[in-house]
Amino acid sequence: MILSEKTNGYLPEQCAYAKRVQALLTERGVVSPKAHIVTFGCQQNVSDSERIKGMLLLCGYSLTEEITEADFILFNTCAVRGHAEDRVYGNVGATKKLKQANPNLMVSVCGCMAQQQSVASKFYKSYPYVDIVFGTQQYHRLPEFIYRRITGKRVYELTLDNADIVEDIPISRDGDLKGWLPIMYGCNNFCTYCIVPYVRGRERSRDPQEIIAEATKMINDGFKEIMLLGQNVNSYGKGESHGINFEKLLRMINDIPGDFRIRFMTSHPKDCTEELLDAIRDCKKVERHIHLPFQSGSSRILKQMNRHYDREGYLKLISAARERIPDVEFTSDIIVGFPGETYEDFCETLSLVKEVKFTSLFTFIYSPREGTPAATMPDPISREEKGKWFSELLVTQDEISKELNSSLIGKKMRVLCEEETADGLFTGKGEYYSSVTFEGNHDMIGKFVTVRVEKYENNTLYGTVIN
């Protein structure tokens, strides 16, 4: 676990609150206080939780995997689909009993779900044992919130003012090999089905120098893979005076000395330029993979979704990328059953999947989100019918995955050996998206090894280390 030493720039008032929290907990006899964090949703949330953990360490907590031993439990929530929300209510409800057993226990809910006024009010009224609820732009104030709760009333802080990004928050990273690096927060795109722009606010890019400093520190600390994060990394730097866009940022990170790999997500097709594709080709540390969600293969539905590209434009982009970056792999997100989607529209999604041949797909059945335009659109197709379409998509993709993976047999990959598998083999990703499993030893973990792919069995690629 690494706690960044660089907290000098982190808000002095929050550092002071953290010290007061430590003193108060000691005064109240909470010896060696422990915190347990539960994270739902996307990588952005996982990354935010690393910063939340950093601030909790600053307040004197240590982290525990055991919820029953915790003096502070935090749920970092997701609002993208209804299913994730239901799980949160169940999890939070279960803390009521834990509080009866440990009167010092504090329970907190944050993240995209908490940012919605209706949800926050529900926590306030129906979950009196929830102590602190805070929104997606207030993370950096956690020491203050804990202090206020210890000394007073329950805390509800949902301000979404799109203020400047707070830097130098201490970070407790989950791993020491692959690390998240947020480059921007929020989203301006307002796809009609999506709650994100409402709960995360406007797009705000981090200062390039802050990003370079964090990347350099990670590399010096031994990280071998940096995942650049943003809802739409392709619009990095828009509206900023420094003039550094995502293409330039990639080149700058690629120039940092060291043997490491750069990944990034998510790219919006409407902002994916030829210059960016050239940068991916030129930067040898950048993986040959683009996660490029297309959501639907029907131009009619794409218009309803407010995606700002059509089927033809998306396919042109795929061709442009393939011309420039040989063997580039694509992954994508797809929504099945958007309001008004017909089986004919869905067949266009199927045919696009067959045409592009994605290495992997993240597929979702449309989930209405209150407050978004799509939630009020007529949606006559039953859930059962959408489920059938969904299964058809999975079967189609399964065949494509088999075909693509089998075509990799014989190929050499430069693999970052990440971990041992349950059956004593080792595994990692190549310079593309695919993972490969091979015989190895513990010394290989954290190193790049060259692997020749030998076979594809049970949805796994197997290979042999050749140096």
SS3 362: strand
Which of 9-17, 300-308, 360-368, 376-384 is the region at the interface with ligand 5AD (rule: CB under 6 A)? 360-368
Which CB sits closer to ligand SF4, 232 or 304? 232
User: Going by C-beta distance under 8 Å and a sequence separation of 6 or more, which residues neighbour residue 64?
Assistant: 34, 35, 36, 70
The C-alpha angle with vertex 328 and arms to 324 and 331, in degrees rounded to 5, equals 130
374-393: which residues touch ligand 5AD (CB under 6 A)? none
Q: What is the b/e burial string over 303-312, where b = at least 16 CB atoms within 10 angstroms of the residue's CB?
A: ebbebebebe
* Residue where the block lists tokens 């042999």: 464
**Minimal distance in Å, beta carbon 370 to ligand 5AD?**
10
Q: Of 336, 448, 441, which is closest to residue 391 (Cα–Cα)? A: 336
Q: What would the two tokens of residue 363 be?
A: 């597929």
Question: Using N-to-C axis directions, what is the helix angle for 43-58 and 12-27, rounded to 10°?
Answer: 60
**Minimal distance in Å, beta carbon 41 to ligand 5AD?**
9
Judged by CB under 6 A, the residue of 185, 366, 433, 462 near ligand 5AD is 366
Are 148 and 13 contacting, i.e. CB atoms less than 8 angstroms apart?
A: no
Judged by CB under 6 A, the residue of 183, 187, 328, 436 near ligand SF4 is 187
Q: Does 196 bind ligand SF4 (CB under 6 A)?
A: yes
SS3 449: strand
Which of 32-40, 319-327, 363-371, 422-430 is the region at the interface with ligand 5AD (rule: CB under 6 A)? 363-371
**Minimal distance in Å, beta carbon 426 to ligand SF4?**
34
Q: Is the peptide bond before 396 cis (omega within 30 degrees of 0)?
A: no
Which CB sits closer to ligand SF4, 51 or 200? 200
How would DSSP label each residue in 3-66?
B-S--TTS-HHHHHHHHHHHHHHHHTT--S-EEEEEE-SSHHHHHHHHHHHHHHHHTT-EE-S-
| Contacted by 187, from ligand 5AD, ligand SF4, none: CB < 5 to 8 Å by type | ligand SF4
Question: Using N-to-C axis directions, what is the helix angle for 246-254 and 274-282, rounded to 10°?
Answer: 10
Which of 16-24, 165-173, 191-199, 219-227 is the region at the interface with ligand SF4 (rule: CB under 6 A)? 191-199
Which CB sits closer to ligand SF4, 293 or 430? 293
267-306: which residues touch ligand SF4 (CB under 6 A)? 268
- Determine the residue with CB nearest ligand 5AD: 333
Judged by CB under 6 A, the residue of 114, 177, 194, 325 near ligand 5AD is 194
Q: Does 193 bind ligand 5AD (CB under 6 A)?
A: yes
**Minimal distance in Å, beta carbon 231 to ligand SF4?**
4
Question: How far, in Å, CA of 377 to CA of 356, rounded?
Answer: 30
Q: Does 197 bind ligand SF4 (CB under 6 A)?
A: yes
Judged by CB under 6 A, the residue of 4, 45, 136, 232 near ligand SF4 is 232
Q: Does 293 bind ligand 5AD (CB under 6 A)?
A: yes
Q: Of 332, 300, 7, which is closest to residue 143 (Cα–Cα)? A: 7
- Binding letters toward ligand 5AD, positions 40-79, x by CB under 6 A: ----------------------------------------
**Minimal distance in Å, beta carbon 107 to ligand 5AD?**
27
309-338: which residues touch ligand 5AD (CB under 6 A)? 333, 335
SS3 183: coil
Which CB sits closer to ligand SF4, 14 or 115? 115
Question: How far, in Å, CA of 402 to CA of 12, rounded?
Answer: 54
**Minimal distance in Å, beta carbon 134 to ligand SF4?**
21
Question: How far, in Å, CA of 152 to CA of 309, rounded?
Answer: 51
Are 202 and 241 contacting, i.e. CB atoms less than 8 angstroms apart?
A: no
The C-alpha angle with vertex 7 and arms to 4 and 8, in degrees rounded to 5, equals 140
Three-state DSSP string of 109-148: EEEHHHHCHHHHHHHHHHCCCCCEEECCCCHHHHHHHHHH
- Binding letters toward ligand SF4, positions 241-270, x by CB under 6 A: ---------------------------x--
Judged by CB under 6 A, the residue of 22, 43, 189, 396 near ligand SF4 is 189
Enumerate the β-bridge partners of residue 467.
none
Q: Does 188 bind ligand 5AD (CB under 6 A)?
A: no
**Minimal distance in Å, beta carbon 183 to ligand 5AD?**
17
| Contacted by 335, from ligand 5AD, ligand SF4, none: CB < 5 to 8 Å by type | ligand 5AD
Instruction: Give residues in contact with ligand 5AD (CB under 6 A).
Output: 80-81, 193-194, 293, 295, 333, 335, 364, 366-367, 369
